[in-house]
Structure 1
Amino acid sequence: RNAILVGSYVMVNPDNWQKNVDLYDGPANTNLALSYECSDLVLYNGSKTIPAESVQVNSNLIATLALGDAELNIVQVPLFHAQAPNDPQHFVGTVTVTARGEGMVVSDEFTLEVKQVAGTAPLASSLCFGGEPLPEGNRLYWSRFGFGEQGYKLYRARIDSEEFTIINDNPLVTTECTDYDVEPVIDYKYKLGLEMPNGKEITIGPLSLTSSSEVGNIVLYETSPNPWVDVTEISYFIPRDITSAQLKVYDITGKLVKTLVDGPQDSGNHSVTWDGTDERGRTISSGVYFYILNARDQKQTKKTILVR
């Protein structure tokens, strides 16, 4: 998985000469022009580095801070699958914000730390935008960041292009989306747009992701629950170039028990329930059963256990 960790900080330009005074030049109440600089983020033992050019410390594109204003700014730090640790990792660097106004130059420096806990996905404990390649497409997921966002937009481009295409026609209110419109083993990049109340859109990304070699194949999932007593659900995925499918259940001797699906199917995710009855509606006995999904020249088989 790849992921972008997200953090924030607040900048304040107080309109109060008692709090905002330059001991050498007198009161410094003025509008400020801002610039930003970030160092490399280095693992404590120095063995790994997140380069400064990949860290965004001004995602809100705040270039000025008016007298009396306060602004929230967003930091983005990429983590790549090659950095997924077996042991905890702790990267440290510095961010410097420089303010200029009426002949005055002042810089504030703060420490930027990125901690990754061994064995956990970034989303488990952090604000982030991440993704993983699946046979059905590229799955994108993100946090509710708490920046006041009212919806989310996803944009996709090939890794060698700057022409991003919006994936969702309407703003999303969920925190997960699968991009089915991908080709196998292609390098893509994604941006996540946060719709803000003032009409502004804050962009997180780009996030790089290589699609699975299994894109274009049917996908059959484990039954839920498994084992089961009264009823179970079977879910499956049909790619966009397949128009019909069969889903049948067999016993351990290979005898047909139940036909659950046989006919036209739209592309996308589907699910069907099975109540443990055969073709005649008779209740079957406990045991191991195999369910098989056939679509065109593709076939997938899974096992389920019925317990009476």
Structure 2
Amino acid sequence: MTEPTASPKKTKLTVISILMEALDGRRLPISDHRDHAELAVGYANLHRRLARAMLRAFAAMETYDERRETAGGGGSLNETLDLALDAIYRLEEINEFYEKDIAAYFPAVQQLPQFGDYLKALSTFNRQWGVLCNKPKHNHAYLVAVEGVYECGSWTAGYMMCTRDGDRIVVDKRLHKRLEMFSFGATLRQILDTVIAMDVLAANLVGMLTDEPDAEPLQTYIIPLPYEQVMQKLFDPEHRFAGMPGEFCPAAVVDGEPVAAIEPGTGKLSAQIYYDFYGDNLKVRLPYGKGEFASAMMLREGMVRKPLTEYLRLVVRDIAFDPMDRVPYPFNQLQAISE
């Protein structure tokens, strides 16, 4: 009788909170805000909310991919669009913690000569996320779903942010400075790298403060950031999603070994773009100068115009995009340890 073989355990990936490690044991006066949670509690809750939002976006993308392969059609990418944008909103909440709450809990950082540079660096890291949050909210820009297959067979899915230019819907250059299409995989990886980069910035800032002998040692309970499952998704070879042309996220480093870069597939990308609209006509200008298309409803003579009961969709198929030079990645390599 053969003994059942245990399935191999997945490696547990961990990224330690650099900020909590930098604060633990320090004799720094901390402001008491009666209407706030303790520093470590509020910090941990923000990161946990972001991690859950990222996992929901991953789940929607994986479900779409499975349906695409097994049923010949994945349905709609709109759920993934909404959940990816929700993760970006959660990221902006964390940015506010680093931008405002660090100074609220430790007012002395505002007197440091480096504080202005700290705020500028945070602003640089979060520029694209701020645009993605604010332009759809205030200027009614919206995300348009894109998916496609490379000549090598790799599949990618993502989005572009669009706005109105006269009577046409066009790629919004307030976000798309160089690349006009972003993949979900690269977006989620960049969210994680943004969080870690901000954490390192904040740790370096508080590290410049001078301990005060009369202050009680801080107990932050050095914690791993709650992105273990997110990293499993990002680095799982069975669920790899290619980037859009020109995208590149360098391989992360786990236990000193590089794993899981995000980059385009090889060859041309054959893509389709989904424009949802409400009204009787739509004109669109495709990314990278690939032409313009229009859609309109025509009423026969004598027909009565009726209310529209739902959005309409213009699908532009089989658009070929050539390979592009890589756009430089703004972050250092992600470092993780396994347990």
- The alignment's TM-score, normalised by the length of structure 2, stands at 0.26
Which structure's residues are more often strand, by fraction? 1
Indicate the structure (1 or 2) with the bigger Cα radius of gyration: 1
- The alignment's TM-score, normalised by the length of structure 1, stands at 0.28
Which structure's residues are more often helix, by fraction? 2
